Structure 1
């Protein structure tokens, strides 16, 4: 991965998260800047951006900060060479559970979207009927 450091503004632009949101995720321990500049500015790497993208993708699905923290901890641990076979399987099972939960939440959102589209179509029909003389 690219080891180039980015300031928080560039990270915010790339992730489409506000500076305030990124700082909040830092305060809650979900993400930690990889470095600080001599002036004390937060500096991030591509890995930090990838981590923020995971968080950004979990948020609209209704995952809690604790669930985000748990998933990130599991994936962080999977990325290390140290886990035993048993620990690796347990970590993979945790990730599978999040994937299954995400799939269920996505299906629920699809149902809500379909209902919203039906509602909008009903309103359009009503407007078209009302516009006729």
Structure 2
């Protein structure tokens, strides 16, 4: 699929997708005869991982590191048991960091919802006017 379709499916801008390509996070699987970037479903899934990591505040280097670890685990070519365990532990560290960030975001959302409810209550039940 071409970059426009990928942008629509991932809800990322063309510019962002190109930026992630320049950063080494995703590479189009092919190019058309006209030079257009062509992406596979696997490329789209990779961009979705990046999008989700970005929303949780991970850096480009962290994204690159996680993608490297998962690529190596998925490829499974010539990994020794120690190297495999080390890669799995790297992925677990990202899982823990993601879970911690989700918990922080939930707490922040709860505070924001409480604040909005306070304002709503205030608007529907204004204080009595003093004379």
TM-score scaled by length of structure 1: 0.93
Say if 1:38 and 1:126 are closer, same or farther in 2 by CA, change over 3 A.
Answer: same
CA shift at 1:132, angstroms? 8.3
Runs (5+) with no aligned partner, structure 2: none
Q: Does 1:107 align with 2:103?
A: yes
Q: Decide which structure has the larger Cα Rg and report it.
A: 2
Tell me the alpha carbon deviations over residues 66-86 of structure 1, each in whole angstroms, 9 at most, x when there is no partner.
000000000000011321111
Corresponding residue of 1:35: 30
CA shift at 1:129, angstroms? 1.4
TM-score scaled by length of structure 2: 0.94
- Runs of 4+ deviating beyond 2 Å: 130-133
In 1, the alpha carbon distance for the partners of 2:51 and 2:39 equals 16
Q: Does 1:97 align with 2:61?
A: no
Runs (5+) with no aligned partner, structure 1: 1-5
Corresponding residue of 1:15: 10
In 2, the alpha carbon distance for the partners of 1:71 and 1:122 equals 41
3-state SS, counterpart of residue 30 of structure 1:
coil
3-state SS, counterpart of residue 130 of structure 1:
coil
**Aligned positions of 1:1-133 closer than 5 A:** 6-82=1-77, 83-130=79-126
